[in-house]
Amino acid sequence: MDKKILEKLEISQGDITLMDVDAIVNAANTSLLGGGGVDGAIHRTAGPGLLEECRTLGGCPTGEARITGGYNLAARHVIHTVGPVYSGKPRDKALLTGCYQNSLRLAADNNLTSVAFPAISCGVYGYPIEEACKIAVDTTCLFLKTAPAITRVIFMLFSPKDLKVYEDYIESLKTSDT
């Protein structure tokens, strides 16, 4: 794995709603009208302006992404993406890959340089964190090769256990020869 690309990745544990970055990514549902988990936390902190703007978007298919303002968040924008409900079928991986690709594409197209991701689909949607972590990191590294303007991607994990999964995987990439 290209070491210069890996240097752009950060991992941290905590609340993504506090991140002062160009965009935080929301693990939303297809309605884009809010929910529980990280989606609920982002809407609570952003305030009602976010929901108002989301209402104008007409939802979002699974695997795709949409961008809004950040309202009362420290982040300038929210990129809303819809992860798959885990089923164990190959389509899960394609859809989760799409979430990371399409979120980063929106960031690049909007000249954003720093993006923070939660562990999309790893809460109520049930995606195993070990598999989801590989998809998140591999897809992001591949994308960053094509988008040099993005200089920081932060994976913000909510639990120490999830943080450890990301730490171990990124460490394994740093020590591998490929």
Smallest gap from Cβ 62 to ligand AR6, in A, equals 10
Nearer to ligand AR6, 96 or 173 (CB): 96
Q: Is 119 in the site for ligand AR6 (CB under 6 A)?
A: yes
Smallest gap from Cβ 42 to ligand AR6, in A, equals 7
Answer positive or negative: Cα dihedral of 26, 30, 34, 40. negative
Q: Is 156 in the site for ligand AR6 (CB under 6 A)?
A: yes
Q: Which stretch in 63-71, 104-112, 122-130, 135-143 sits in contact with ligand AR6 by CB under 6 A?
A: 122-130
Q: Is 59 in the site for ligand AR6 (CB under 6 A)?
A: no
E strands in the chain: 9-13, 23-28, 65-69, 77-82, 114-117, 152-157
Terminal-residue alpha carbon distance, the chain: 5
d(CA 23, CA 40): 17
What is the DSSP track for 138-155?
A: HHHHHHHHH-TT--EEEE
CA 35, 38, 42, 45: dihedral to nearest 10 degrees? Answer: 100
x/- track of binding to ligand AR6 for residues 17-36 (CB under 6 A): x---------xxx-----xx
x/- track of binding to ligand AR6 for residues 62-91 (CB under 6 A): ---------------------x--------
Residues written for the chain: 178
Q: Which residues bind ligand AR6 (CB under 6 A)?
A: 15-17, 27-29, 35-39, 41, 83, 118-125, 156, 158, 162
